[in-house]
Structure 1
Amino acid sequence: MTIPLILASQSPSRRDRLVRAGIRPTIRVSQVDEPAALQTAAAEQGVSLHFLPARERVAILAGAKAGAVQERLLAVIDAESRAAGEQVVSRPLEDGYGSVHSRLPMDRAVAGEQGMLNAGVGPLVIGCDSLFEFQGEPLGKPHTPERALERLKSMRGETGTLWTGHCLIDLATGRRANASSRAQVTFGDYTDADMAAYVATGEPLEVAGSFTLEGQGSAFIRSIEGDPSGVMGLSLPTMRSLVEGLGIKWPDLWNEREDRERQQAVRPQASAAPAGNVHQPGDGWIDCACGRLHWGLNGAAGVLLARRDPDSGLVSEVLLQHRATWSAEGGTWGVPGGAIADGESPVEGALRESHEEANISPEDIDVVGSYVEDHGPWAYTTVFAMEREGHRVEPRMNDDESLELAWVPLDQVADRKLLGAFGRDWPAFLNRLKALSPVK
C-alpha cells in the first residue's frame, strides 16, 4: 500500500528532491506567517526573538508549516464526518442520463469511502524550513538584490552552517516526529563581478543564505561537511529516519513510477495551463467509454454551495465559478472543484478544492448531500452544501483557476453559459435544492 505524502511547501527544490527519490508529493502550501510564528514562540519562552538560535527557528517553522496543513485537512475530515442528507448515484453509461442507480444516506456513503476519514495511517505531512547561520547570525531569504549581494561578499572564503528543520505528522493518528539536519558550507574565492552576475539571475533572492547547491550558485561553494541534501531544503536521510520512527516503511512512500504509468493516458488540454501549475498525484486524463476525456485519475469533485434567504429560510442562491479560459470548457460557469488527490475521498477532494479555488472553508459549511455521476473508471461527485447557521462564506479567488466567483440567484443560473455536465444536471439540482427544508 502506497502512503500519500503531503509537502507543506511550494519549494520546487524540496519537491524535486522527493520526486528523484521516488516520491511524488501532493503540494499543500501552508501559508504560515513565519515572522509571527517566530515572535509567538519567542514570547512563549519569555525571550527576545534575537535570542532564538537558527536551529530552534527552523524547528519552530517546520512544525508550524506541517501543523497548519494538518489543521486544514482535519477541518475537511470534520466537515465530512458531519455530512447529512443523501448520496444519489447515477450510472448513465448503464442506465441512461437522468436515471438514479442507487441512494444511500451520507453517513453510510462517507463511511464506505477510502479516504482520510477512514485511514489507519497517513497521509503523512512533511514541513521543512532552512536557515543559514553565519558568524552567529541566522540568515533567511534576502528578498532584495542589495541584501543578497552584501551577504555573498561577506561570505567569500568563509564557512557557515545550514540548518534544516523537519516536522512529520501522520494525519490518521496525529503522531508527530521532529528533527533537524546541519551542514557546514564553505564558500570559495570569487570576485564582486561574479556575485553581481549571480545576483542578477534572481536565484539567490528567495533561498536561505542567498545560495543554492543545485543551481548556479553551486560553482561558488568550495566544500560541504555534513548532510548535503539538507542544504537543498529537505534532508532525505533525516526524513527517512522520521518516517521509520513512526513505524512506517520508507518504500511505502514510493509512488513516482506508478504515477508515471498512470500518466501514460494523459493528453494535453486545448490551452496550456499556466507555467507555475504543479503536477499533483491524481492529475491526468481518463479516456472514458462515453467518448470523452475526463480530468482526474481518481475522479473529480466539487462543491455546490447554497445560501438561504434570511427571511424565508429557503435556498435563494448558489456560489458559482467562472472557469479560467485555459481550463477544460474554459469560460463556462460551474462549481469550484477539481481532481481528487491520492488518499482522498470524493467529499474530501471537493471540500479541499473548493477552499483552494474559492475560499470555502469547511468550518463554515454543512454537507447536505451529494450526486455521483459514475462512468466506471471515472466519476464526478457534486457535493451539496449549505452555509452553517451563524457562518458566512466570503468567496475569494485563491488560485488562477477562476475568472470570477459569484453568488447567483437560483432563477438566474440557467441564464449563464454553464459547463456542459453541470448545465445538463442543473434542473435536477435545482429541484433538490428547493426541496431542502427551511431553517426553523
Structure 2
Amino acid sequence: MNTEYRHIPLILASSSPSRRRLLVQAGIDPIIRPSKVDEPAVLAEQAGKSGRHLDDLDACERVGVLAEAKASAVQATMDAVKDAERRSRGELVTFRPLNQSDSGASSRNPMSQVLGAWGGMIDAERGPLLLGCDSLFSMDGVVMGKPHKPERALERLMAMRGRTGTLVTGHCLIDLATGHRARAVSSAQVIFGDYDRATMQAYVATGEPLEVAGSFTLEGLGSAFIQGVEGDPSGVMGLSMPTLRALAQELGVSWSDLWAERVMPERQPADGSTHGPEGLAAPAENVHQPGDGWVDCACGKRHWGLNGAAGVLLARRDVRSGAPVSVLLQHRARWSAEGGTWGVPGGAISDGENPLEGGLRESYEEANIRPEDIQVVGSYLEDHGPWGYTTILAFERPGHHVDPRMNDDESIALEWVDLDKVSGLPLLKAFGQDWPHFRQRLETLAAEG
C-alpha cells in the first residue's frame, strides 16, 4: 500500500483570526493572503448583471458571490507571480560561505535549470488550495452585516434577544495548479438568550461586535449570550470545517494532505524562542505564516525563515541609455533583525513556495512591487546549507512603473535610491557586503539588454 504523504498548502484569503484559529485547531497551518475586495462594488455588479436591485440579493447569494470574489482576487495575484516566474531569465549565482571547498568561489547555473530544481507552485500538479469565505447573518429575512457603529450594534443585539436568526457562510475553494474550483454555502440557526440593555451596552463598549457579521461572536465575549446553535457551529465562526473537507474531496484532495507537518525539530530554534538576534519580537498582532521562525545556523547566527528567505532587488533604468540609475530599498522596522538598516524588501519563504515565488510575494506584500510590473533577470543565493537567502535581481518592465507603498508594519520607509548613494546608507550587513557585486551585475545585465 502506498502511504506516501504530500503536504498541500492552504491559502486563506482572509485576515479573520477566527477562521485561522479554526484551521489551526483542525491541524492546518494556513498561509494568510487577505483579498482586500471592495464588497459593496462586487455585490452591486452581481445585482446589475441580473437586472436586480442590491436589496433583492438574499444572504446565501451574497456570501457565495463574495467568497468567490475574494478567492479570485488572491488567485489573480498568485497567477501574476507565476507569470513573472515564467518570464524570468538570467543566472543564479550561488555562494556557499560555510563550504570550505568553495574557497570563496561562486558556482553558476542557468536560472531555468534552477527553477526546475526549486519546484514550487509553478511545478505543482495539485495545490496549493486557495479558500475564500464570507459570512452574513439574517433575521426574518433581513440581512445584518457588520454594524460598524456602537449604536447600531446595540439596537440589533436588543432586537435579537430571545430570538433565532440564520448565519450563512459562503466558501470557494480553488486548486491553483489546475484552476478548478468548488463552491458551497453552509447554514446554521443561532438562538439568542435573554439579557438586559446594560449588559449589552457593556458588551458593545468592548468593541467586539462592531466588525463581525450580525454583531456577535460565538468564540468570544458574545458566547455567553448565545443559547444554542442548530447546525454546524464552525460555520457560525466564519468557516464550516465539514464543508471545507467536502470541497477538498470534490477537488480530489485528501483532507489529511492539508495537515501541517507538526514535528520538525531540525527546523525549530533550539530554545523555542520567537525572538530574533537582538532579542526583539515582531508585534503581537502580526500574523504567523507557515515558514515563519528562526533557524540557528552553523555559522553561529540566527536567521529568519524555516524554509529560507528571499527578497527582490529592483532596479530602475534610464529611459534613454537603459543603464540602471536607482534601486528600491526598504528601511527596516526597528523590531526586525538589524532593525533600522536598509536592505531589499523580502522575508521568509512560505511552505510550498520556491525562493523566486517567495521573494516576489514578499516584495509585493511589503513594498507593493507588483510581479506584472517587473522582469526578473537573475538571482544570487547565499547558501548556508540548512538555510539560505535568495536575492532576486529585477528591472522595471518597459512601459511599467513601480510605486512603492508600505503594505505592512515591516518598513520605516521605502525609497528609490540612486546607485551612487546606496553605499552611504546604513545597510543590512549581508546586503552591504554584496552590494558592489549586485551593482556590477545589474549594470552588466542592463548592458546585455
Counterpart residue number, 1:92: 97
- Alignment partner of 1:393 is 2:427: no
Counterpart residue number, 1:410: 419
- Alignment partner of 1:367 is 2:376: yes
Tell me: CA distance 1:3–1:260, structure 2 relative to 1, closer, same or farther (3 Å).
Answer: farther
- CA separation in 2, counterparts of 1:200 and 1:259? 43
Structure 1: state its 5+ residue gaps: none
Q: Displacement, 1:192? A: 0.8
Aligned residue for 1:92, secondary structure, equals coil
Q: Displacement, 1:437? A: 3.2
Counterpart residue number, 2:3: none
Bigger shift: residues 138-147 or 346-355: 138-147
Alignment map for 1:135-214 (pairs within 5 Å) = 135-214=140-219
User: Residues 341-372 of structure 1, C-alpha deviation per residue, up to 9 Å, x if partnerless?
Assistant: 00000000000000000000000000000001
Counterpart residue number, 2:67: 62
Q: Displacement, 1:438? A: 4.3
Counterpart residue number, 1:253: 258
Q: Displacement, 1:228? A: 1.1
- CA separation in 1, counterparts of 2:153 and 2:441? 59
Structure 2: state its 5+ residue gaps: 1-5
Q: Displacement, 1:258? A: 3.6
Tell me: CA distance 1:362–1:86, structure 2 relative to 1, closer, same or farther (3 Å).
Answer: same
User: Residues 83-122 of structure 1, C-alpha deviation per residue, up to 9 Å, x if partnerless?
Assistant: 1111111111114899344212222221221200111111
- Alignment partner of 1:16 is 2:25: no
Counterpart residue number, 1:277: 286
- Alignment partner of 1:36 is 2:41: yes
Q: How many aligned positions are there?
A: 440
Q: Report the AA paired with residue 147 of structure 2.
A: P
- CA separation in 2, counterparts of 1:294 and 1:96? 23
Counterpart residue number, 1:419: 428
Equivalent in 300, 310, 334 of residue 309 of structure 2: 300
Equivalent in 329, 337, 341 of residue 332 of structure 1: 341
Q: Displacement, 1:185? A: 0.9
Alignment map for 1:229-244 (pairs within 5 Å) = 229-244=234-249
Q: Report the AA paired with residue 38 of structure 1.
A: L
Q: Report the AA paired with residue 88 of structure 2.
A: A
Identity across the alignment (%): 66
Contact 1:358 1:397 in 2 (8 A): yes
Aligned residue for 2:121, secondary structure, equals coil
Q: Displacement, 1:44? A: 1.1
Q: Report the AA paired with residue 283 of structure 1.
A: D
Aligned residue for 2:135, secondary structure, equals strand
- Alignment partner of 1:344 is 2:344: no
Counterpart residue number, 1:218: 223
Q: Report the AA paired with residue 259 of structure 2.
A: W
TM-score normalised over the length of structure 2: 0.95
- CA separation in 2, counterparts of 1:405 and 1:428? 22
TM-score normalised over the length of structure 1: 0.97
User: Residues 41-64 of structure 1, C-alpha deviation per residue, up to 9 Å, x if partnerless?
Assistant: 111111111000000000011101
Contact 1:369 1:383 in 2 (8 A): yes
Q: Which runs of 4+ in 1 moved over 3 A?
A: 95-101, 258-266, 437-440
Counterpart residue number, 2:123: 118
Counterpart residue number, 2:300: 291
Q: Displacement, 1:65? A: 0.8
